[in-house]
Amino acid sequence: MAETIRLRKGLDIKLLGTPAKDLAVMGLSETYALCPDDFTGVTPKPVVKEQQTVKAGEALFIDKNHPQVKFTSPVSGVVESVNRGARRKVLSIVVKPDAEQKYVEFGTKSVQSLSGEEVKNALLESGLFAFFRQRPYDVIANPEDSPRGIFVSSFDSKPLAPDFEFVLKGNELDFQTGLSAIAKIAPTTLGISASQTDPTLTQAKNVDLYAFKGAHPAGNVGVQINRIRPVNKGEVVWTIDPEAVIFIGRLFNRGVADMTRVIAVAGEEVVNPQYMKVILGARLSSVLDGRLNRNEHIRIINGNVLTGVKATKEDYLGAFANMVTVIPEGDDVNELLGWIAPRFNHFSVSRSFFSWLSPAKKQYSIDARIKGGERHMIMSGEYDRVFPMDIYPEYLIKAIITGNIDKMEAYGIYEVAPEDFALCEFVDSSKLELQRIVREGLNNLRAEMA
Amino acid sequence: MSLRNYLDKIKPNFDEGGKLHAFRSLYEGFESFLYVPNTTSRNGVNIHDSFDSKRMMIMVVIALCPAMLFGMYNVGYQNYAMAGLLEQATFWNRFWFGFLAVLPRLIVSYVVGLAIEFTVAQWKHEEIQEGYLVSGFIIPLIVPATCPLWILAVAVAFSVIFAKEIFGGTGMNFLNVALITRAFIFFAYPTVISGDTVWVVDHTICGLGADIDAISAATPLGAAATGISSGFSIMDEFLGFIPGSVGETSVIAIALGALLLLYTGIASWKTMLSVFAGGIIMALVFNAWGPEGNAVAAMPWYEHLCVGGFCFGAVFMATDPVTSARTECGKWIYGFLIGAMAILIRVMNPGFPEGMMLAILLMNCFAPLIDYCVVQKNVNRRAKRTAK
């Protein structure tokens, strides 16, 4: 039986547009793309030319600094374009899919008989290694490191996030194979939710199992690591999303890099919020066309509302996005005298809004407005209430803003990722861009330490 | 939505190159005052809590209103009582007299302070920070209703510039702006804020009130410090019918504000509670072992809390999130030391009967040190983990 860890701090934001538990299977999208920006910390070097044919599982680009890390095409087809931006930065590599999908055959393998090194090589070859991220710095893992451990969180507690137990249906075997495979690389820990009952999760093999109870960010892998065994200076741990563990399982069970995944299409502006089976990198228009309430004054988010990126229908499903959210943009709303109006229907952690009068189960409509100006940090303890790690977030943020590397280290920057600060950013009355600040701090530190 | 259209129409005048560009900060201030800004997030989280610093500051101002209204009434009450005309004056006579006495101070405080804020915002190309909404409301409450307007103006200018703006504005100051205003008056012009002649208005205003020739009305604490009894009952002190700074006298009015601040979570209950705990414990200590013949030391703990602005300081000043300790554990220590220090100063130094102001300013200076120690424990724990 897994040890249960209860988190007292945190906040569940209840938004309108929870996905219904039915699955729509999507046909092939017009185009697919990999965007190197999704893979933080990588310097991409394209290895394909336009009009070249690729199979699913064939490399589109590699990391200049670690050429063995390949980023492979999710579909077979013809490379339509390699899009570059300012200073020839690679923005995306677009593939037009074949009607009949062809996969690179990596050959089925029995995980039990493989060594950690062999598993790692198989993952590097198939491009699935690119789904490992590392702490510190929250960047794509370096294959030359030997991590202290690998952490997987099997639930996503962010607003409207897909239920992994639903995503897991039909993939149970692959998930367990994936876990067994990565456990060969390093001791692996699986963090499950105390409310999850699927035996694939509650009786997962070859992993250390911990159950977490509490509001968001209980599902954030960073919080789980901090509670189980925090990352110290000089140590490296890897993290991987549970959906990517399924990809890894498929690689060994079926011999192909099949990046088909189940995502949630959710949010207030979606007509029928539900789950969809798509291939990673699909064009968002193929997911959203005919499913939106309106076409203007909406915000399409590649991912969830807290850490996702603002997108358009012409963008592509992010490599790490397990959902697409559509909420009102709010740029057409003019709210009179907001500082004094009671604002009954506004969600807030502060009881200065009278929404606490309504039942706790109520779901709220929240748009993308910042609803205030950026200020210096004024209120104290705001972040603490939603930050269940053994870290003083305010002090860490101040150390990052002032660029004090010694203090950043002392206050625990090696343990955090920008996503851990997403809730702090949501509740912040000073409206500071905390995730950007943390990202810049991590990048500076990484450059400094290199 | 014609107001919205009008704002949009005049907006270009305030942009770079527009003929009213020098008033850009003023325009933005009023626009965001009228409408919630509808700028949407560019990066980071896509949704934000509706709570912002405007909402927070306004909640504090609302919480201060009972103290302000009662303070105005009490200014009239004291004048009529001193003149012996209390029976003839109606409730509204008393209130309007006090209103007219306090209003100029409120106006001076806001005009001087906000003018500086707007100028700095314009100069730094920043938005107007609304911190002064609270400071400007508190300042008239913590000075006597007789405070000369020019002295108040000088003090406000001094404190806004030297206690706040030079550090970078609201959120970067380490001393409470309103208290620095009071401290400036206290040390630069001691005669207008101490003694027994300044606490009651001695002349008529617009035909209201009464002229009084020789005033002698010490605050209860000032009287005790000089060893004479003020003659006020504990009930007077609790309800607030005593001479003193405008808003600090009534425990009831302050308690109403405290309820709002605690309920909305804007003020820290930890700080507030520990200030009272510190004050009570220190008062009991002096009751038991205090110096012989010291009337303030012999004052019972509940009276200590009712006089000298103790409650006002505990509720509205000690809990200022910017200048108080920021760690949860630090708040306990910070608050406790304020309470204890306030009573200590009152008892040991009869020259400074209003120990609360000095205690809070002193602890403002020490708050970063307290936080440093609390955070350092976390840092040491982390360092120990690495060393293993």
Q: What is the pLDDT of residue A358?
A: 64
Q: Which residues, including other chains, have CB under 8 Å from residue B205's CB and lie 6 or more apart?
A: B97, B100, B101
Average pLDDT, rounded, for chain A: 91
Q: How many CA atoms lie within 13 A of A368 on its CB side?
A: 31
Average pLDDT, rounded, for chain B: 87
Identify any residues that bridge with A211 across adjacent strands, giving them in sequence order: A4, A192
Q: What is the pTM of this model?
A: 0.91
Cα(A18)–Cα(A158) distance, integer angstroms: 12
Q: Is residue A62 part of a domain?
A: no
Residue where the block lists tokens 């952690």: A349
Distances in Å between the Cα of A90 and the Cα atoms of A84, A416, A439, B323 are 4, 27, 20, 47
B 195-254 residues with CB below 8 A of A?
none
- What share of chain A in percent tops pLDDT 90? 81
Token pair for residue A114?
Answer: 């493989």
Question: pLDDT by residue (tens digit) across B74-92?
Answer: 999 988 888 888 788 888 9
- What share of chain B in percent tops pLDDT 90? 46
pLDDT at residue A178 is higher than 70: yes
Cα(B342)–Cα(A108) distance, integer angstroms: 77
Sequence ranges of the domains in chain B:
53-374
pLDDT at residue B214 is higher than 80: no
Q: Which residues, including other chains, have CB under 8 Å from residue B68's CB and lie 6 or more apart?
A: B102, B137, B140, B141, B246, B247
Distances in Å between the Cα of B244 and the Cα atoms of A177, A439, B219 are 77, 53, 6
State the residue range of the domain holding A434.
370-449
Contact A433 B264 (CB under 8 A): no
Closest C-alpha to A246, from A314, A304, A165, A352:
A165
CB A126 within 8 A of CB A72: yes
Cα(B178)–Cα(B157) distance, integer angstroms: 11
Q: Is residue A36 part of a domain?
A: no
Over residues B26-30, the mean pLDDT reads: 77
Q: What is the pLDDT of residue B15?
A: 76
Q: What is the pLDDT of residue A423?
A: 94
pLDDT at residue A76 is higher than 90: yes
Comparing A62-66, B136-140, B167-171, B370-374, the range with the smallest average pLDDT is B167-171
What band does A356 get if pLDDT is binned at 50, 70 and 90? low
Which ipTM value was assigned to this complex? 0.90
Q: Which residues, including other chains, have CB under 8 Å from residue A199's CB and lie 6 or more apart?
A: none
Q: How many CA atoms lie within 13 A of A295 on its CB side?
A: 4
Q: Which residues of A touch B268 (CB under 8 A)?
A: 380-381
Closest C-alpha to A208, from A180, A187, A224:
A187
Distance, CA of B99 to chain centre: 19
Q: Is residue A443 part of a domain?
A: yes
Q: What is the pLDDT of residue B194?
A: 82
Q: Which residue of A has its CA nearest to B51?
A: A429
Q: Is residue A302 part of a domain?
A: yes
Choose among A15, A305, A346: nearest Cβ to B50: A346
Length of chain A: 450
Which of A353, A429, A435 would best serve as a mutation to test chain B binding (most B beta carbons within 10 A)? A429
Q: What is the pLDDT of residue A360?
A: 65
Over residues A110-134, the mean pLDDT reads: 94
For A316-344, give one letter per residue: b (16+ CB within 10 A) or e.
bbbbbbbbbbbbbbbeeebbeebbeeebe
Q: Which residues, including other chains, have CB under 8 Å from residue A195's CB and lie 6 or more apart?
A: A213
Contact A368 B46 (CB under 8 A): yes
Choose among B59, B264, B268: nearest Cβ to A381: B268
Q: What is the number of domains present in chain A? A: 2
- Helices within chain B (DSSP H only): 2-14, 24-34, 53-83, 91-124, 131-138, 149-159, 177-188, 220-225, 234-239, 251-264, 269-289, 295-298, 301-306, 310-312, 328-348, 355-387
- Please check whether residue B324 touches A, CB under 8 A: yes
**CA triple A388-A394-A396, angle to 5 deg:** 90
pLDDT at residue B1 is higher than 60: no
Q: Is residue A111 part of a domain?
A: no
Comparing A251-265, B22-36, B246-260, the range with the smallest average pLDDT is B22-36
Contact B50 A310 (CB under 8 A): no
Closest C-alpha to A265, from A293, A244, A227:
A293
Question: pLDDT by residue (tens digit) across A244-281?
Answer: 999 999 999 999 999 999 999 999 999 999 999 999 99
Cα(B150)–Cα(A215) distance, integer angstroms: 55
Contact A306 B46 (CB under 8 A): yes
pLDDT at residue A301 is higher than 60: yes
Which of A310, A312, A379 would best serve as a mutation to test chain B binding (most B beta carbons within 10 A)? A379
pLDDT at residue A191 is higher than 90: yes
- Please check whether residue B378 touches A, CB under 8 A: yes
Comparing A124-138, A357-371, A372-386, B253-267, the range with the smallest average pLDDT is A357-371
B 118-147 residues with CB below 8 A of A?
127, 129, 131
| Between A91 and A449, the higher pLDDT residue | A91
- Please check whether residue B385 touches A, CB under 8 A: yes
What band does B72 get if pLDDT is binned at 50, 70 and 90? very high
Task: Determine the distance in angstroms separating the CA of B188 from the nearest CA of chain A, rounded to an integer.
Answer: 30
pLDDT at residue A299 is higher than 80: yes
Q: What is the pLDDT of residue B36?
A: 75
> A385 in helix, strand or coil?
helix
State how beta strands A133-135 and A90-97 pair: unpaired
CATH classification at residue A316: 3.10.20.600
pLDDT at residue A373 is higher than 90: no
Q: Which residue of A has its CA nearest to B323?
A: A378
